[in-house]
Structure 1
Amino acid sequence: MAGKKKRGSFNPLSLAFLDVMSCGFGAVVLLFLILDHTATEARNEADPNLTAEVNLLEDEIVEGQENLFQIRNTLDRVSLEVVEAQGLADRIQSEIDDFLAQLAALEGDSMATEESVEDLRADIQALEEELLRLQSTAEAERGQSNRQFLGDGDRQYLSGMLLGGNRILILLDTSASMLDETLVNVIRTRNMSDTVKKQTAKWRRATRIVEWISAQLPVISQYQVLAFNETVQPALPGSENMWLEVADQDQLNEVVRQVQELVPEGGNNLQAAFQAVASMNPLPDNIYLITDSLPTRNNREPRGSTISARDRLNLYAEAIESLPRNIPVNTILLPMEGDPASAAAFWQLAHLTSGSFITPARDWP
């Protein structure tokens, strides 16, 4: 039995293997504990500089995509315009070809050309006959207006004035005296604003007289409105040395509107107004003068701030000398205190020129 192995005997080989395994495992654990794990954590953290650069690149990519969309839209729009231009060019070329074909046909057929000329002559003759018919109709309706003037109640009564003529001139006094009927109120009002001046009762009445006359003008006539105080100017800016057509209703309405925008101020230079009449070419054949008193100055500088009644009559006589002959002057005299000689003077003017003279009632026009 000596050669048999005893139960529970010690095996040195088994002990050595376990020691080696234990030592190896311990070494691994020791190395794990010794190693610095902060480097790994630092690598896992984001680098701010790299992050900013990545964001910048992403923004550039987005901006590039937007620019790409805009370029594509512009390209589509340009392509559409090219197509439209090409279509227009084709249409124009087609029209040119048609015209050339018609020209070739006319050149190749002289008879057709002569017939076309005869047709044109017949059309011209028909148009001329129609023009003569319209002129005859206009003459038959002479005196009818291109505008309407609606008064309150029955204020559109006959004034006794003959509202006719081929070239009708309206002279509107825009001096400071047209602000009121009394000297005290004139002096008071002339220092107020332009808005207040344009709303005074006397001036509004003067502008409505212009509107009333414009509503009575014959349609086939010409007209002009001149405003005068110390100087003379047309009511419609830019119409100097021009006669306006009554048939142009829009222009006539604009003239009335411009009259309503005028502001009374300064003195009354009737001489300048009549000299402006004399310079018109051709001359008017009917004049309507809207004023309230005799002139207060002439073209010379006044020597003082006041003027006497005799001096005003002398200025009136001087102004009459500048008026061309054989032109009826129809005076509409508005009331003004302190000038009793004006009514007699303007009545004499109407008598000398075969015109008319009225001092209208307060409810006219």
Structure 2
Amino acid sequence: MKRSRRQTLEISISFLDVISCGFGAIVLLLLIAKTVEFSAPPQSQTNADQQHITLLQKQLFSLRGETRVMTQTLSGKREQLSELEKSIARLRRQLASVERQLQASAQADTTERDELILAQQILSEEMQRLQQRGSLNAKQLIGGIPVDSEYLVFVIDTSGSMVDYAWSKVRAELLNILDIYPTVKGIQVINDMGDYMFPSYRGKWLPDTPGRRRAIIRQMTHWRPFSNSSPVEGIQRAIQALYASDKKISLYVFGDDFTGSSIHKVLSTVSQSNRQRGRNKQRVRIHTIGFPVHFLAPGGRMETASRFAALMRELSYRNGGTFVGLNSLNETQ
């Protein structure tokens, strides 16, 4: 008997299981999607964010502008710094040049000082030798003027009459007086108002060197400070600024006339300034040189010239000095 074969099913149980699971998953997703709805952000929150973004953009633009300004300022500062660095470099070069000049000058001064010291030693030895022979003593006079001082002060009338008519003679007499003092410890030149020829040495002594003596004569060519034709201010300032008890000082007063009100007042004022405290002795010796400008120049004031001569004669007599009245304005006489 012929057995019948079992009919094969086209769709198996396993396939149906897969299909069922798939449909179940789709249903589940639909349920989930329905319960979770999309919620857009509220309009107010959107406006606030937009305003915040706009504010940040404005701040960004402002910062960019400030950065641009700061960059330009920084560039300008860098240029200024570069110029300052160039100026500093230039000043450093100038300073180095000045220092080299000062070093050279100091070396020259040292050489000149050594030569001066040597000359002083030679002169001292020669003076000692002459003193031993009795040929020289401390009170020797040259042209009637004692030359025992170690420091010299020239008080020169720089009025118009002196400058216009007697200046060459003044320079010649200044040089003659320096010649009778071969070497001293200090020199100073002021006018009758107390103005210094070399302001940097105000209240100090000029060193006595050949170069300094030549500089004084050269400076006389264009030295023209104001003058009132009265020597009292210059004498007072010279004594107050330069007097020292351990120094032998001589003042040389150059002038041609006296326009002050009282000779007696000048004599009293100078005597008070020149008297040592507690002693009836002068601090400095005062010599006077009279130039005959008003006796020789056209339109001269004879009266003021005569008053000057009387004042200078008495002034030198009271202060241990000598009055020399010149009779010519010719520098060779």
What TM-score do the two structures reach when normalised by structure 2?
0.48
